[in-house]
Amino acid sequence: MHFNLFGVVPNLVFILFFLLVFFQWPANNYKIIIIAVAAGIILDIFSYTYIGPSVILLTGIAFLLKGVRSLLKNTENSYPFAYFLPLFVLFFLVYDLFRGSYLYFLDSDKIALIISTQIIFSVIYNAIIASLLFYVYKKVIKEFGNGKDL
């Protein structure tokens, strides 16, 4: 069964990776490395590239995400959706652009070509799925984890 909509399939591995890293406590660096390596290997196995590029990209994204999260204002709700969605969209675009090697040599013509309706629809579609899973994940944490990460 595929969730293909207008030629776009949600990247469920990236969404799960992002959720797990987003909800990790800042001191759990070893866990985010394990999550990034596991998700990267899965993504690389099912892609047209060699094993390694997604592992490196996801590890970098994981540490960037943890750095950005540590700079954001800590509120009573330590995992607000207002932080999640913009960060997800930003890092999904970064992953998608670098994974496809679209930014090689930083040619502005090549960058402009990839911002197509399919990329925009892919970001919107993945953001909707990630948003739904965000609330499911928060519900699971609240009920079973007593606010601790899983």
Write down the pLDDT at residue 92. 93
Q: Coil, strand, or helix at residue 100?
A: coil
Kindly report, residue by residue over 71-96, the tens digit of the pLDDT.
Answer: 876 655 666 888 899 999 999 988 88
The DSSP secondary structure of 32-78, one letter per residue, reads HHHHHHHHHHHHHHTSSS-SSHHHHHHHHHHHHHHHHHHHSPP-SSS
pLDDT at 36: 93
Q: DSSP character for 148?
A: S
Among residues of the chain, what percentage have pLDDT more than 70? 76
Query: Is the model's pLDDT at 105 over the cut of 80?
Result: no
CA distance 38 to 59: 10
What does 130-144 look like in DSSP terms, one character per residue? Answer: HHHHHHHHHHHIIII
Instruction: In whole angstroms, give the CA distance from residue 25 to residue 38.
Output: 19
Q: How far is CA 91 from the centre of its chain?
A: 6
Residue 58 in this model has a pLDDT that exceeds 70? yes
Helix, strand, coil percentages for the chain (3-state, nearest 5): 70, 0, 30
Q: Helix crossing, 29-45 with 53-71: angle to 10°?
A: 140
pLDDT at 76: 56
Measured CA to CA, the distance from residue 20 to residue 36 in angstroms comes to 10
Average pLDDT over every residue of 115-139? 88
Determine what percent of the chain is predicted with pLDDT higher than 90. Answer: 35
pTM greater than 0.75 (yes/no):
yes
Confidence of residue 103 (pLDDT cuts 50, 70, 90): very low
Q: What is the pLDDT of residues 37-56, one digit of tens each?
A: 999 999 888 877 678 888 99
